[in-house]
Amino acid sequence: METARASRTAVLVCQGRAVADGRAAVGRFADPVAVRLLRDDERRAVEQARAPELPSDVRERLVVEMLRATAQGMVARTVAIDDAITGAGHRQVVILGAGLDTRPWRLGALREAVTFAVDHPASQADARERSDALTPVGRLEYVPVDLSTDDLGVALTRAGHDPAAATTWVWEGVVPYLTDDDVRATVAALAERSAPGSVLVVQYQTRSWTATAGRQLSRLVLRLTRTGDPLTAEPWRSLWSPKAMAGMLAEHGFPVEEDDDLLTIAGRLGSPATRRRSLANGRVAVATRP
Ligand SMILES: C[S@@+](CC[C@H](N)C(=O)[O-])C[C@H]1O[C@@H](n2cnc3c(N)ncnc32)[C@H](O)[C@@H]1O
């Protein structure tokens, strides 16, 4: 991503969660905090996407369709990751590329934990400003790190992360924005700080022409609507097959136990899944260090 600007894809996925709150997989998915992290114009688009009727303005309608599609993926990946964090029950949770992830303010499993929110400095500054009025459920430490250039281990040591205690690592929606080399380097760095029993949850994208075409379409929508195009500033750089991801994680001592696509997860939750191909291209892998 560009170094001076906060992530706009972080806003987009936050909007997706706000659209889905109380509308999809009720009882399994809830994110009442997401809307509180949005600015007025971003919130207005969410309200339009939650309304039963489509806006009459064509450009607004395109944004609504895009946010509704985004919401479908957010429900599946959020529940799968929440469940993995809660199941692991660790006292240390590191969120890599946290963006506007609302877990520090809403997830009960973090009450007794210290959560390290790691993100690119520009995105982190924006997230801190937006969440200023909120109180985290547990202890929250901010760790500004550019995963392409900075030393993750040094930054985590400075922030008080304890490599001798088991950690749950959450890496949601970030892998596509890093190069393959940066992905490998990040896994190597976190593996060095992972005591036995540590859990790594990775949400990533597989390569497919439908995913690429969907992204092109979203870019077009954003351009047409003059919403500002986050996808150009944040191009996809690395897409992984489940086999390649499992092989790379195993090399670093994290054998994969589960790896499901978002369509399968949405099916289990009974949440909306009209964007079947797009959902099928997103995956959540859970790996545990023996
Ligand atoms: C699509 S957002 C996902 C945010 C959050 N994980 C979520 O799912 O809501 C992508 C995130 O990756 C972060 N990111 C992208 N490149 C990065 C880098 N080189 N170093 C650190 N974070 C990066 C962005 O700052 C942004 O927060």
User: Atom 27 in ligand 1: which residue has the minimum CA distance?
Assistant: 99
Shortest-distance Cα residue to atom 11 of ligand 1: 97
**What pLDDT, on the 0 to 100 scale, is given for residue 183?**
98
HEC states along the chain? Answer: CCCCCCCCHHHHHHHHHHHHCCCCCCCCCCCCCHHHHCCHHHHHHHHHHHCCCCCCCHHHHHHHHHHHHHHHHHHHHHHHHHHHHHHHCCCEEEEECCCCCCHHHHCHHHCCCEEEEEECHHHHHHHHHHCCCCCCCCEEEEEECCCCCCCHHHHHHHHCCCCCCCCEEEEECCHHHCCHHHHHHHHHHHHCCCCCCCEEEEEEECCCHHHHHHHHHHHHHHHHCCCCCHHHHCCCCCCCCHHHHHHHHHHCCCCEEEEEEHHHHHHHHCCCCCCHHHHHHEEEEEEECC
Q: Which has more pLDDT, 126 or 59?
A: 126
Nearest CA, atom 21, ligand 1: 120
**From the CA of 118, how far away is ligand 1's center (Å)?**
9
pLDDT at 235: 83
What lies within 8 Å, CB to CB, of 32 at 6+ separation is 21, 22, 106
User: Domain 9-288: what homologous superfamily?
Assistant: Vaccinia Virus protein VP39 (3.40.50.150)
Which pLDDT score is estimated for 1? 55
Please give the Cα distance from 106 to 89 (Å, whole number): 15
Residues with a CB atom less than 6 Å from ligand 1: 1, 7, 9-10, 13, 97-101, 119-120, 123, 145-148, 172-174, 177-178
Q: Residues 7-40: pLDDT tens digits?
A: 999 999 999 999 999 999 999 999 999 999 999 9
The pLDDT value recorded for residue 59 is: 85
When mean pLDDT is compared across 1-10, 23-32, 53-62, 103-112, the lowest value belongs to 1-10
Q: 179 C-alpha to center of ligand 1: Å? A: 13
User: Mind listing the pLDDT tens digit for each residue in 72-96?
Assistant: 999 999 999 999 999 999 999 999 9
The pLDDT of residue 5 is 85
Structure tokens at 23: 């509308």
Ligand 1 centroid – CA 20 distance (Å):
21
Q: Which atom of ligand 1 is nearest to the CA of 13?
A: 9
Contact 147, 28 (CB under 8 A): no
Q: Average pLDDT in the 237-261 region?
A: 97
Q: Given this model, what pLDDT does residue 225 score?
A: 64
**Buried-exposed string 40-70: b where 16+ CB fall within 10 A, e elsewhere:** eebbebbebbbeeeeeeeeebebbbebbbbb
Specify the pLDDT at position 229: 54
In the predicted model, is pLDDT for residue 216 greater than 80?
no
Testing ligand 1's pocket by substitution, the residue of 120, 129, 171, 218 carrying the most ligand atoms inside 8 A of its CB is 120
Express as a percent the part of the chain with pLDDT over 70. 95
CA of 178 relative to ligand 1 center, distance in Å: 9
What pLDDT was estimated at residue 3? 60
Q: 151-184: per-residue pLDDT in tens?
A: 999 999 999 999 999 999 999 999 999 999 999 9
What rounded mean pLDDT belongs to the chain?
93
Confidence check: pLDDT of 121 > 90: yes
Check residue 233 and give its pLDDT.
Answer: 72
* 70 CA distance to ligand 1 middle (Å): 16
Q: Is 116 left (phi over 0), alpha (psi -120 to 50) or beta?
A: beta
Confidence band, pLDDT 50/70/90 cuts, at residue 217: confident
Taking the model in full, what pTM does it have?
0.94
